[in-house]
Each structure stands twice: as structure tokens, then as C-alpha cells.
A and B are shown apart, each in its own frame.
Chain A
Amino acid sequence: MATTTLRAPRDAARAPRASSTSWAPISAATLSLLAGWVHVAYAQSHWRQWWAYGLFFVATGVVQALFAIAIMRRPRPGVAVAGIVANLGIVAMYVLSRTDGPPLGPHAGVTERAGTIDLATTAGEIVLVGVLLTLAGRGGRRTIVNALAVAGLLLWVLRLTGNLP
């Protein structure tokens, strides 16, 4: 069947081309470490608001640091996809906190103000997702890119129709 002949070989997906492996893991690790450092740096101020906020920031920072090590040692599609999912979760929480307010805690429902550092960090995480997509394998990449397009479209529709504050 034509569909089977068009699909990329499994080995090819698991072993990205040399051009990707040369720069993608290093870039991903660097971006992840930077984002993790920012989260750890801001953990204390969030801890003051609520211990769970602080714990979220510490956990996020630690996971991003560990992920930097993991992606350097094993730049495989599975690791990349795990990183994509985790960072998208962090980005989603950020968007929620800046549009509808955090879902839990003493500031639940209170929209936080976006600042330069948190916007830059989020931009870095989106770039990180893009970098990780180059390591994710062709099939996984297509699925994730399409899902991101749908999510982005949904956010804009919700905002433009007034359903997202």
C-alpha cells in the first residue's frame, strides 16, 4: 500500500539524522536548564503565597533540570515527547494563571499580571518544544504539531468570542 511506503522507517524515527542530533539536544538542554533556573529562583516568593505554589515551582525547576540531563544522555523520541508534554503543561498553567487565575490556592481566580521574565521564560519553553519536536520522530511530530494548532486556534477563538477573560 502507498501509505506504508510513505511512512518513515521505525529505525529512522528512533535515530534522527546527524544534523538534528548535533544541535537539538544541546539547545533543548540549555533552554530547559534556563527555564528550570527561573522556576527555582521564583519558588520562594510563590512559597510565601502558598506552599503548593512554591512546591509547584520547585518541582518544575527540578524536573526541567533533570530533563536537561536526560535529553543530553538519551536524545530519543520518547524522551523528547515526554519533555514536550511536560513543558506544554507548564505553558498551559502559565496561560491559565495570566488569563483566568490559578485554579487553586489563595489566589484562585485572581488573574496575575504578566511580566518580562515570565513571558521570556514561556517563550523559551515554546522554543524548547519546537526543538524537541525535531527529536520526536516524524509521526509524533505531526500529531503534536496538529494538536498545538488546534489548541492555539481554540485559545484565540475563546478569547475573541469573549469566553476567555
Chain B
Amino acid sequence: MEFSRRDLLKLGLFGSAALMLPAERVARTELAVINRMPESRLPGPFTVPFAVPPVLQPDHVTPTTAYYTIEQRQVSAEILPGLPTTIWGYNGMTPGPTIVNHQGQQAVVRQINNLPDVHPSLRYKVWTSTHLHGSASLPQYDGYASDITEPGQYKDYVYPNIQDARTLWYHDHGVHITATNAQMGLAGVYILHDPIEQALPIPHGDYDVPLVIKDAMFQQNGELIFDDNNQSGMYGDVILVNGKPWPLMQVEPRKYRFRILNASISRSYRLALDTDDPLVVIGTDGGLMPHPQPVGDLRLGMAERYEVVIDFAKYKPGQRVVLRNLQPPNNIDYTNTNVVMAFEVGAAVSDASHNEVPVDLNPNMRTMGLTEADAVRTRHFDFGRADGEWVINSKTWADIVNSDYEYVAANPGFEDVEIWELQNDSGGWFHPVHIHLVDFKILDRNGRPPHPYELGPKDVAYVGEGEIVRVLMRFEHQRGKYMMHCHNLVHEDHDMMTQFEVGFGGDDPMHADRAAPLPAGPLFTEPERPQSGGDAGSGSGSGSAPQQPATAPGGGTTGAGGSGSSASGSTTSGSPGKSTSPRKHRRSRRKPHKPSKAKASSAKPSKATPSKGKATSHKPAKRKPATGAKPKKARKPLVRRSPKRS
């Protein structure tokens, strides 16, 4: 039986649709790679001026809370000179605006998803989840990957700011699409100050500079290329610092403090100065180190942060100092990925204050005071690849989803101290492992001491090729389920992510506070008249200077100084004199635990406040009875209007 020409055309119509539509995305990527911008047309290193992301001004400030609004939106930005690039930015910029806060004053950040329904070139359905990396947030505000916000929705994230001063960053964590969402630009810096850090004579203000390092690859028309190299990693041939390709920064001949963040999807760096002068490391992921560590070079995995002081006083005016990348193994390198940026030293110093690095920075900090003897148990985690998936102890995030988010890889008790062994048997991959919620101390690396620059509190451990890294941590601040994953975001998406649960009775990250549809209600409302007696909390009033902290027995700092918005070094500003009622945050429509978790029935509710000895302005919120979530229900104002008083 033969086919007529008409039959063949009809079959061809169907066959082309069935094959071309799936192949379209792959073809787009392949064509984009073929159409990659030639290196000869890229800007030369150190030809573009350096820039710093602007500081986000709060919508409103009370003694206890700063309120912010961020809109995630698609814009056309000029990253390469003269060429438009479609990006997704927080408030339309990448990196997003820097958020600056003070210990003891919580922040409420409204994230509005105004992104398109589908990715402009990869055509996937879009959702986001915003993680504040380094914050001990409640589970429902931690950017739990599957707690997504779709276009046309918003979510109000509450950040307690109860920890020590540190460099945090907020970035997308949407399940399975984190890599491309982040590569589109969804990342920004969040700085937390505390009185100890503010009192140190280290560089502050204009001399305290964030460096967000990221790599990208561009088509000839300026659009980004997304090639995950068969799920191994996404690498670019252009190094961006604060969104600028290989920028040149003008510096004064004095000390600068750089908050270096590796916001790359898959690329790690080994940073060094071309002068061979040391980088003085003063801070790690979790804040100031006990003592500064001068190092010749510094390996920087994805999501790791190091605070580094560089002293430019030793250089001649006009001298150019290059920050190099010594290119760790198992990255895909290009001609100019061996340099990051350059500094051009000026002749005059406009402000000579805060120009020191003291021997003691934060010697009594709690995390670094932990010892192996404090640990109540040791757990082991293997990071590897099986059946085409990236796995942790042979499990993937799909296993978490299949268990209805009940499966946990570990269940440390609240405030327990544990040792976790993170193992990477592979010789061909490295895995920067991020453990949410906690700060940890790196005990050793293949039995050898950690690198000098790792002698501070961390939340990402670079687990290199064939390495076993042991980390020690106290599971404190919050109860509930938190993620652990590889911060190669391509690995995370496919599907190297698991979860652990701290204690019992924590809030359910999937249901306690879901995203709601736009239009959003007011972020806060002004009371009709100020409340007598002031707001609850420990704040000292908007605009006041931070108080000196008392040192807690464990070396931690109390958050008594609920600082205002105009504290030293901060560029945030509020509305001094105005008073609003603090938001009573909706919390925890908790799902009942399964019977196998016998302790669940008698567990205490999770505390919004941190461990003993830490006073904060974060108020425990009222709980609602456990009911099914109704994510589409419109929201109430975050701050309720005070009743009229006659």
C-alpha cells in the first residue's frame, strides 16, 4: 500500500512538530554557542570602569523592622559596551541592589515576580524562590526550592538578622531552574553589620566594597548563552565583577576591604595579586574570622564569600594591580578567564581613618569555639553521580518531592553539635557544598588542616576532587527543614540536593507562608496615631547609633542594639519618628508529623528567637491551626492598622 504525496505531507506535518518542537531548545543553545561572540570583539580586560551596585533604600523603617520591596523583572541591560543583553534583575539590575541591615533589626523583603511566563530563549516555565544565603531564616523564608513564586505572584520574606555581621547574598533558588534563573541575573548582596564589626578599625564606608564575581558567555547580538555542557556546568569566557567585564577600579593608596562573592554558576577561582603581595583575609561566609590570615592566593568556590583587605599604600601612584585567577582544575577556561579585574592606584587619600587590620577581629565567636568533643554524632554524605543524576548518598531532590517533602537525610536535635563528613570521590568534579541555616567550622580536609583562609565560620565547603571535608556545626537558631546541596547550580538542578530537619516541630517550608497572587496588599500601614509606650522589641529607635553589645557566655553577641537605619557605614535610611505596628507574621500552618516521628507530638513550637543569650527584636508570631494551605488567597497587610483610640 503506497502513500500519496498528500499523505506524506500530512505525516510530515505531524512528524516535524513531534521532533522539531523538542529539538528547538537544544538547537537554540547549539546555535547560540556557534554564534558566540568572538574574543576579538569582547572588551579588553581593564577597559570598563568599575561600578558598585546601589544600596536599596527601605520603604519603611521601624525600630524593629526594615521593609523593602524588590521587583524581579526582565530588562535589556548593557553589559558588553554597546550591546543589549536580556537579563532578569532584582529591580531590573544585576547584581541586584545591595541590602544593608543591622543585627537585631529584622527585615521584611517583598519579592514581586514580574518575570515573563516563559524564559525568552530556553522556553521553560518560569518560577522563582529567593534564598538569603547566610541567614538563619525560618524555613518558609529560606527560599526552599519547591516553595515557588510564579510570575504574577509575590512573597514577603522575613529575615531575622540575629547573626553576627557578615556578607550574605540573596539569589534565586527555584527548583530545577536555579542555574538559568541565576545566570539571567537574579543575585544581589546583603550586608549585615553588628556593633563589634562596626567598632573595628577595618575599612568601612566607601572603602568597604562588594565584588560580585561571575562569568558569562555572550552571543554576537549580546544575548546570553546557556550551555550546561551536558549537565556538568555552565562556564563563560567573560569575567564580570559587579556586572562589568574585567573592570578597572580607581583606588586610593590605603587599605580597602573587599567583600568577594563568587556568584558564578559553575566556575571556581583561585585569586591572587599579580604583585604577589598577600591578600589579608578577615572574614569568611559567616562573618569575621577570629584573626586575620594573610594568604598568597585564595580558592573561591561558588557561593563562597571572603572578606579581604588589600593595602594599596605600598604601590606607586598610577600603578596598576591585577587581581588574577589562577584557574583551579575542572573549569572550562578561556583566553581571559585568568584575570578578574584591576586596581589603579591614585595619589591621594581622602580619608585615612579605619585603615587598620587588628590582630584580633572576633576571637570569641561561637562557631569557631566549637571543638570535636562538643559533637554528639558524626554523619557521612557522599556527593557523586549515578544514572545520569547528581546525587547525595544516592538520593536526589526528586526523592524529597516523592516523599511529599517528608524525607530528611539527617535529623539533628535542636542545638546539637554534629560533625558532617562531606565526601567527593570523583577526580573530575568539585562540589562547593552549602548547608543552609548553620555556620560551620571546617575541621580538616583529607585529614589535613583547612586552608588558612578557611579559619573562619563557613556555610559553603569546597569539597575538591577526591576530598573528604569534615565540618563541625551547632544546629541552632531555628527548627525545621533546610536544604543541603552542591552550589554548582547545574548540579543542584539535576538533582544534587537533599534536606535535613533540625529538631521537631519546625515550620513547614512548603505551606507555612506561600506566595500570593498580585496585586499585593500594602507592605505596611501607618498607624492613625502613634502607640503609647512604643513598639515591642529591643530597638533603640530609628536613627540611633547601635549600642555596644554585651558578650554572651559562649562568645556570641547579644542583639540588644536594635539599631536604626542611619548607623555608621549604612546608607539605608528610614523615616525617623514614624512608628508603625510591627507585623504579626503569619506563621506555620504546620503539617502534622508522621507517627514514626514519635517526638513530634510533644515537640515545642519552633522559636523565632535564637538560642539562649541572644536577644532580638524578632517577635514570635501567632500560629494558626494546621490546615491545608491556600496559596492563592489574597494577602492581608503585613502591618495591621492600629485601632483608633478615642
- Of chain B, the residue at the smallest CB distance from A112 is B22
In contact, A106 and B13 (Cβ under 8 angstroms)? no
Distance, CA A72 to CA B527, complexed state (A): 81
Of B18, B117, B118, B400, the most chain A CB neighbours within 10 A belong to B18
A151 to B9, alpha carbons, bound, how many Å?
13
Residues B398 and A148 in contact, CB atoms below 8 Å apart: no
A113 interfacial by beta-carbon distance below 8 Å: yes
**Chain A residues with Cβ under 8 A from B21's Cβ?**
95, 98-99, 155, 159, 164
Bound Cα distance A103, B125 (Å):
13
Contact flag A152-B177 (CB < 8 Å), given A98-B21, A123-B19: no
Residues of B within 8 A of A45 (CB): 387-389
A16 CA to B1 CA, complexed, in Å: 7
Q: A155 contacts B1, CB within 8 Å?
A: no
Complex contact A91–B18 (CB within 8 A): yes
- In the complex, the answer to whether B22 meets A94 with C-beta atoms within 8 Å is yes
Q: Are B402 and A106 touching (Cβ within 8 A)? A: yes
Given contacts A98-B22, A99-B21, A107-B398, contact A152 B15 (CB under 8 A): yes
Chain A residues near B23: list those with CB within 8 A: 114, 119
Which residues of A from 43 to 93 have beta carbons under 8 Å from B? Answer: 44-45, 48-51, 91
- On chain A, the residues within 8 Å of B25 by CB distance are 98, 111, 113-114
> Is the Cβ of B401 less than 8 Å from the Cβ of A126?
no
Nearest chain-B residue to A156 (Cβ)?
B17
Interface centre among B7, B177, B399 (most CB of A within 10 A): B7
Cβ of B18 and Cβ of A122 under 8 Å apart? yes
For the complex, give the distance between the alpha carbons of A106 and B146 in Å. 10
Most chain B CB neighbours (cut-off 10 Å) among A45, A49, A138 = A49
Give the interface SS of chain B, mostly helix, strand, loop or mixed: helix
Tell me the nearest residue of chain A to B122, going by C-beta: A111
Q: Which residue of B lies closest to A155 (CB)?
A: B17
- Beta-carbon contacts under 8 Å, B4-20 to A: 7, 9-19
Return the CB mask of B256-267 against A: 1 if under 8 Å, else 0.
000000000000
Q: What CA separation (Å) do A5 and B13 show in the bound complex?
A: 31
What 1/0 flags go to B52-74 for Cβ under 8 Å of A? Answer: 00000000000000000000000
Chain B residues with CB below 8 A from A101, complex form: 125
Contact: A48 with B7, CB < 8 Å? Answer: no
B123 part of interface (Cβ distance < 8 Å): yes
Q: Is the CB of A95 within 8 A of B18?
A: yes
Question: How far apart are the CA atoms of A109 and B23 in the complex, in Å?
Answer: 18
Which residues of chain B (385-412) have a CB below 8 Å from chain A? 386-389, 396-402
User: Shortest Cβ distance from A119 into chain B, in angstroms?
Assistant: 6
Cα distance A138–B2 in the bound complex, in angstroms: 10
A152 touching B386, Cβ below 8 Å? no
**Residue numbers in A under 8 Å from B122 (CB-CB):** 111
- Cβ B22 vs Cβ A145 within 8 A: no
Within 8 Å CB of A100, what residues of B? 125
Residues A138 and B1 in contact, CB atoms below 8 Å apart: yes
B26 within 8 A of A: yes
Indicate if A141 sits at the interface (CB-CB under 8 A): yes
Contact of A149 with B14 at beta-carbon distance under 8 Å, contacts A16-B1, A101-B125, A134-B1 already known: yes
Chain B residues contacting A126 (CB-CB under 8 Å) are 11, 14-15, 18-19
Asked if B124 CB lies within 8 Å of chain A CBs, one says yes
Q: Nearest Cβ distance between residue A88 and chain B, in whole angstroms? A: 9
Give every chain A residue within 8 A of B388 (Cβ-Cβ). 45
B287 → A minimal CB distance (Å): 36
Name the CB-closest residue of B to A146: B10
Q: Collect the chain B residues with CB atoms within 8 Å of residue A109's CB.
A: 125
User: Residue among B11, B398, B401 with the most chain A CB within 10 A?
Assistant: B11
A44 to B389, CA, bound (A): 11
Compute how far the CA of A152 lies from the CA of B19 in the bound complex, rounded to whole angstroms: 11
Closest Cβ of chain B to A116, distance in Å, is: 9
B27 to chain A, nearest CB (A): 9
- Chain A: CB-nearest residue to B394: A48
Q: Is B176 an interface residue (CB 8 A)?
A: yes
B7: contacting residue among A111, A145, A151, CB under 8 A? A145
- Could you say which residues of chain A place their CB within 8 Å of the CB of B9? 149
| Min distance, Cβ A20 to any Cβ of chain B, angstroms | 5
Beta-carbon nearest neighbor of B228 in chain A: A113
Task: Give Cα A123–Cα B14 distance, bound, in whole angstroms.
Answer: 11
Contact A152 B402 (CB under 8 A): no
Q: Which of B153-183 contact A (CB under 8 A)?
A: 175-177
Q: Which of B14, B26, B175, B401 has the most CB of A within 10 A?
A: B14
Contacts of A95 in B (CB 8 A): 17-18, 21-22
Known: A107-B176, A113-B26. A153 touches B398 (CB 8 A): no
- B123 x A165 contact (CB < 8 A): yes
Query: Which chain A positions have C-beta within 8 A of B399?
Result: 106
Decide: A148 and B401 in contact? CB cutoff 8 A: no
Contact A106 B397 (CB under 8 A): yes
Provide the B435-458 mask, 1 if CB < 8 A to any CB of A, else 0.
000000000000000000000000
Mark interface residues in A1-36 (1 if CB within 8 Å of B CB, else 0).
000000000000000110010000000000000000
Instruction: Given A126-B19, A165-B118, check contact A149 B26 (CB 8 Å).
Output: no
Partner of B398, one of A50, A113, A133, A151: A50
Specify which of B17, B123, B389, B495 is in contact with A111 (CB 8 Å cutoff).
Answer: B123
Q: Which residues of B contact A141 (CB under 8 A)?
A: 1, 7
Taking a contact as CB atoms under 8 Å apart, the answer to whether A48 and B1 are in contact is no
A49 to B177, CA, bound (A): 16
Residue numbers of B with Cβ under 8 A of A are 1, 3, 7, 9-19, 21-23, 25-26, 117-118, 122-125, 175-177, 386-389, 396-402, 495
A-B contact pairs, 18 of them (CB 8 A): A45-B387, A48-B386, A49-B389, A49-B398, A50-B402, A91-B18, A95-B18, A95-B21, A101-B125, A106-B399, A114-B25, A126-B18, A145-B11, A146-B10, A152-B15, A155-B21, A156-B16, A156-B17
7 A-B pairs with least C-beta separation: A98-B22, A152-B14, A149-B10, A106-B401, A152-B13, A155-B17, A106-B398
- Other A-B contacts than A17-B1, A113-B25, A134-B1, 20 sampled, CB-CB below 8 A, are A48-B386, A49-B389, A50-B398, A95-B22, A99-B21, A99-B123, A105-B398, A105-B402, A106-B397, A110-B124, A110-B177, A114-B25, A119-B22, A126-B11, A145-B10, A146-B10, A148-B13, A155-B17, A156-B13, A165-B117
